[in-house]
Amino acid sequence: MNTYSLAIILVIFASFFQGTFGLGMKYIAPLKWEAWWLIQSFVAMIAVPVIWAFIVIPDLCGVIAATDSNTFWTAALYGFLWGIGGILFGVSVEKTGISITYGIVMGLAASMGCIIPLFQIEGAFSQPSFPIILVGVLLLLVGVAITAVAGVKRDKLKSSNSNATNKSIKLGVLIAVASGVLSAFLNVGFSNAAPVAKIAVDNYDVSTQNASLASWVVVLIGAFAMNGGYAIFRLIKNNTWSSFKVNNSKKAYMWAVVTGIFWFAALGVYGQGAALMGDLGPVIGWPILLGLALIISNFWAYRAGEWNNANGPFRILMGGLAILITAICILGYANY
């Protein structure tokens, strides 16, 4: 198997985790959201990436210590900004519903997370694959938009009443746009943390594939500062520390840990695949990851019966997923 084929397989494998980890969020009760989120984010953004990186990188602390401070703080800042996007996602859902929010956020996160790293590459416009990448990203946006429309039509069939006013919907859409742009910064941070991985490769003889984990450790320090910090703020504000001791919470704790493991498994495996793709790895791999994750998450939704009695919207969904698959194939070919 050649290197590029392995890279694509890794990204496909990562998309399974990305499209599946959200299932665990159905099992937050009886814990309060902030208690569950603190555990999940610590496992996802600190425990798993640090442990995994320590296993495959002989001197992780030495790698990070040798990193230029500007690179370190820039990558961590992008992780922090992504964390803000995650919080805004929840606010938008409350105002506009999951379908509209998810469609906007996924589309912007996939496209912006691809285009920004591309433009940061010297001579991006002269890249032979540049027009192919643009076609792939545009098709991806169309596919995401169609799946969002299908979701909205499905929700209308299930509920003819809407509690949101037009004003709150417009505000929710604006918040979703902000969330989508900020959500792209997770991949931008990974791309900008490439010098961290280079130190691991050059100075510690770590494989390119495993060195990517050092990049994630730096980015996710910033991500956890936002996510963990916000959860602690909620715990203090709502005085919900006692939630950690609530009865019958064993299942919620288990799913918080499992969700955290799956969340970083997606990023860790994706990072390895993107590293094997070379300079265009974050450009090509990121939209493939999110596009496939959207397909997988809809598969789980179908299995859970969320598309029952919605034949018309389901046909629209199938058309959107077909376009997504076409876009993914084009993006995969762009760096071949």
Q: pLDDT tens digits, residue range 69-99?
A: 999 999 999 999 999 998 888 777 767 766 6
- Mean pLDDT for 200-224 is 95
Of 92 and 37, the one with more pLDDT: 37
Q: What is the mean pLDDT of residues 154-163?
A: 64
Q: What is the mean pLDDT of residues 236-245?
A: 93
Residue 170, pLDDT above cutoff 90: no
Is the predicted pLDDT of residue 160 greater than 60, yes or no?
no
Most confident of 57-66, 136-145, 273-282: 57-66
pLDDT of residue 272: 94
pLDDT at residue 198 greater than cutoff 50 = yes
Q: What is the pLDDT of residue 161?
A: 46
pLDDT at 165 exceeding the cut of 80: no
pLDDT beyond 70 at 146: yes
Lowest mean pLDDT among 68-72, 94-98, 111-115, 331-335: 94-98
Give the residue-averaged pLDDT of 185-192: 94
Residue 149 banded pLDDT, cuts 50, 70, 90:
confident
Banded pLDDT at 168 (limits 50, 70, 90): low
Phi-psi region of 154 (alpha: psi -120 to 50; beta: other; left: phi over 0): alpha
Query: Does residue 319 surpass a pLDDT of 50?
Result: yes
Amino acid 164: pLDDT:
47
Mean pLDDT, rounded, for 139-161: 79
pLDDT score of 125 more than 60 = yes
What pTM did the predictor assign?
0.86
pLDDT at 332 over 80: no
Q: If pLDDT is split at 50, 70 and 90, which confidence band does 154 have? A: confident
